[in-house]
Amino acid sequence: MQKLLTLFLFTCLSKIMYAQIRFDELPKAEQEEIMKQAGDINKVTWAKGLIAITPDGKVWDKQTYKAPVIPGDSVKYNGTPETEFIYRSFKGLQPPIIYVYNGNTIVVHGLVEVHAERKGQPIRFTVARLETYIKTDGRWALAAGSGTYVEPPTPEKK
């Protein structure tokens, strides 16, 4: 019986220690603070050891992962001309799913539609994004990010 009680208490404590909270369940003030610090990829602080995985599997470090990516920038996913495109814009396709772990780690999953241009032709593609943010010195920093093609680059219909 004592072992069963110990196991039960350990299970309860481990759930508390590693609790995940949906972002939309947080108090409004805390949601606003997180979004102010981590809501714009072009303004977020990057962790020292940032790792990013491109949709075609390339691993980028902080030096390679150049941001902000602004409209008109040329992007080569694997460094070859055939993967080069001119970035135009992106938009979220739905509100991202955000979980907060222990108050110091955030995991974000969302879908983005990217509009670009390749060899003068407009293209678009959809990417599933998974990003991890950590709280360092009281600020949120992007620690890891990855993208996976949901829909590969295709010509836009006119």
pLDDT tens digits along 87-120? 788 888 888 888 888 888 889 888 888 888 888 8
| 75 touches 49 (CB < 8 A) | no
Most confident of the ranges 63-67, 70-74, 151-155 = 151-155
Euclidean distance between CA atoms 44 and 79, whole angstroms: 25
* Residue 111: inside a domain: yes
Q: How confident is the model at residue 7 (pLDDT cuts 50, 70, 90)?
A: very low
* Residue 7: inside a domain: no
pLDDT in tens, 35-60: 666 555 556 677 888 888 887 777 88
Euclidean distance between CA atoms 135 and 59, whole angstroms: 23
Domain of residue 71 covers 22-155
Q: Is 13 or 135 the better-scoring residue by pLDDT?
A: 135
* Residue 9: inside a domain: no
* Residue 94: inside a domain: yes
* Residue 10: inside a domain: no
Number of domains in the chain: 1
140: nearest Cα among 3, 41, 15: 41
Angle at 127 between CA 123 and CA 132, to 5 degrees: 145
Which residue type does 116 have? A
Q: What percent of the chain clears pLDDT 70, i.e. is strictly above it?
A: 69
Identify the CATH number of the domain in which residue 33 sits.
Answer: 3.10.450.50
Sorted by sequence, the CB contacts under 8 Å of residue 155 that are 6+ apart come out as 121, 122, 123
The structure tokens 């670009």 sit at 116
Query: What's the pTM value of the predicted model, to 2 decimals?
Result: 0.67
Euclidean distance between CA atoms 80 and 53, whole angstroms: 17
* Residue 5: inside a domain: no
Q: Is 110 or 157 the better-scoring residue by pLDDT?
A: 110
Q: What pLDDT, on a 0 to 100 scale, did the predictor assign at position 11?
A: 43
